Structure 1
């Protein structure tokens, strides 16, 4: 963020500096062109007046002045009479077309057009013409090939000074912008790190107790941003404490219920040997309810463990091997349920290793296959596929059962939610456990409807990286 703020400040400063320095550079060129034109126009006027005062007997004086001007300034000059005959010339080729055109224009009482601005790449010389005489009477013409070297050199030096000043200003602005952006962005950066640390505690990052502390300077940055950072820290601490307390409550409650439930189950088994025949059905229903409650408690313990952040370890397992083992394990149950299981062939050359503990993957596959066995219904097909790409190892389990209506799909991973099409015994925690386990390792769970009927569950498991990090 600091870099973006610095870039914005520098772009704005560059636009401001350029909007000032570029017009200044052109202003220098126009001012130097004006002085250049005034000087050369004055010289041409001098020779025009000198030519108008001297008759043909004074041509020697004119030639002497012309030669002296050429030797001193190094600029060619020519003076002609009204018929175009040369009265004096020095250092200028009068046969050049542009010189003849300038002479013709001056004889028509037209002065040459001077430069409006001088730049380092302007022509090396320009023709300055002036008519001899005044009013409507033109007695000759003067043409000077004025050199622009000195003017172009002065403009180049001026532009260099302006450019150096602009660079110096931008360097100063860069130093100020760097300090200013650091002052403004430091609390925001600390807040962003805190948000990242806070979010990772609920997904695949290290637990907050083991996470590196985020160092913040409460005296650095704008007061409003510092106040926001303090408010967020207080809110984050409250949420973390509440979440930790919730997890502890679920785990402690489940643990506290396990022993009484186990004792109650034992008593029911002992009591079952003495229950009269008229109470056998009630005893059986009570036993089933206790078993269901025990299953809920067990699932709550698993869910609490799955939602507890853990340090990431470089743990891998072969997804294809584990999947084949669980399909074989559930084969008898799926046969009894009347399901037909199809396992798609996988690429033997592909790498199916994923960054997930094997026991977590087993628990996830068991939950999904258990749901298919319970709810797909007799005669349904179950299609299982495992494929690997650059980022994930994807396990897809699809059935042709009744599926879940579209409005209930977003809630399918919520705790204790059971679809309206689900019948029979269940806790509603199976996919919630799968969702928590896969998010803990940085993967993703996708549940979609299958057409024309059924459900597709996809596990996108992060690929194992040989360097020890997630790919």
Structure 2
């Protein structure tokens, strides 16, 4: 964001400089050209006025020659032509010998003088980095001669170059000042936003006590930081409250259930067969109630956990869980297999994938009968990791699949009905998704889409906040 603000501000400054400095430079250049031509024409008209006294009034040529000498000392070239186009007087030109002067006047300027004599009026042309102007002498309708003055444009070009250099320096200075201002502005806006973003990232990773620094940046950013801190404080209070409830329930329910089971064991020890059978049924109900409490506690922990994702080797976890559940599957005469791509890696909270697979395998083993099979398959897609737990048991109806991820949502469940709710919470909390599909040929397939780590993503610490 800082870079975008700075680049946008710099582009705006460059645009303003181009729109302001370039037209100004072109205007000043045009003004220099106009001024140079006007001063050259004015000097030539002065020579033409003195030459008129000589050619028309037949006075002494002294004033005309004096002005020609002044023009020569100033570095100009000048010549006076009569009505026949013949040079009457001329100065020397820089870089030419004295013997070439008449040839200069007669040859190079004769055609210009002839043009003015035929079409009376001021004429001008540029030649060899010099401006040549011709002025009719006397009456503009019937001139008695032509005055021609050639002046070097080198001084004008030097002034124009100097002017452009000054404008370039002014523009560069303005650009540097604009860059510094844009960077300062971008940092003023971007730093507090980055601080809020970092605080939000840490909050999402489980650091419930994190707060964004306030009092910096624009008013809107300060208000955003204040709103974020209020939200984080309320979230911390709610999560700590839920954790306290889970701890209290764990203590308050498990203890009396354990005591009740022990009392029933003692009573069943000395009872007759009929009473002992009733006690055994009561103990089974207490065991079921204990499993239900454990399931509710597991769901509550999953809902209150804030995972901090780390790279997890899916293939290793699958192999480990298959080995752990193999004795149970063999006892129930069910085939349990696992097959994943080599070095298959997902981005999950530490320990979450083990809980997910345990719940899915337990559900599948409870659902299928003898001789059935349960397969765990994993593969990498373009941006995700696809994990499937497939069985060929009785499957689930469409209504049961729609309600399976809710607590006690599946009326067909043989257990507590909380396993899939735990799976759904753990997977979605890590940014993945889970769905249920029919297995081809009969059975149920649980499809998990898990986030894959970025190719060069930043390393992260262990999971916190569960």
Do they fold alike, i.e. is TM over 0.5?
A: yes
Q: 1:323 aligns with which of 318, 324, 331?
A: 318
Aligned residues: 443
1:99 and 1:449 map into 2 onto residues whose CA distance is 100
Aligned partners of 1:251 and 1:300 also within 8 Å: no
Q: Hey, what does 2:230 align to over in structure 1?
A: 234
CA deviation map 1:68-126 (0-9, x unaligned): 356323344454444544444543885999967755653423544689xxxxxx98334
Report the CA distance between 1:41 and its aligned residue: 1.4
Q: Hey, what does 1:43 align to over in structure 2?
A: 43
Aligned partners of 2:404 and 2:421 also within 8 Å: yes
Aligned partners of 1:394 and 1:458 also within 8 Å: yes
Q: What root-mean-square deviation, in Å, do the aligned CA atoms of Structure 1 and Structure 2 show? A: 5.0
Aligned partners of 1:78 and 1:94 also within 8 Å: no
Q: 1:468 to 1:169 in 2, by over 3 A?
A: closer
Name which of structure 1's ranges 286-295 and 55-64 shifts more when overlaid on structure 2.
Answer: 55-64
Q: 1:143 to 1:254 in 2, by over 3 A?
A: farther
Q: Hey, what does 1:109 align to over in structure 2?
A: 120
Aligned partners of 1:397 and 1:458 also within 8 Å: no
SS of 1:130's equivalent?
Answer: strand
What are the equivalent positions in structure 2 for 1:45-444 lying under 5 Å apart? 45-55=45-55, 64=65, 68=69, 71-89=72-90, 90-91=92-93, 102-103=112-113, 105-107=115-117, 108-109=119-120, 111-112=122-123, 124-176=129-181, 187-201=192-206, 207-209=207-209, 214-216=212-214, 218=215, 220-223=216-219, 225-267=221-263, 274=271, 284=281, 289-306=285-302, 307-309=304-306, 318-331=313-326, 343-344=338-339, 346-347=341-342, 351-352=343-344, 360-374=352-366, 384-387=376-379, 395-398=387-390, 402=395, 416=407, 418=409, 423-430=413-420, 432-433=422-423, 435-436=425-426, 439=429, 444=431
2:437 and 2:114 map into 1 onto residues whose CA distance is 93
1:371 and 1:290 map into 2 onto residues whose CA distance is 21
Report the CA distance between 1:303 and its aligned residue: 4.4
TM-score by length of 1: 0.71
Alignment gaps of 5+ in structure 1: 116-121, 202-206
Alignment gaps of 5+ in structure 2: 94-100, 462-466
Q: 1:322 to 1:174 in 2, by over 3 A?
A: closer
CA deviation map 1:336-389 (0-9, x unaligned): 889776654644xxx457777875443222123234445588998755334469
SS of 2:432's equivalent?
Answer: strand
User: Which structure has the larger Rg?
Assistant: 2
CA deviation map 1:13-62 (0-9, x unaligned): 44444433333322322322222121111123233334444339899869
SS of 2:447's equivalent?
Answer: strand
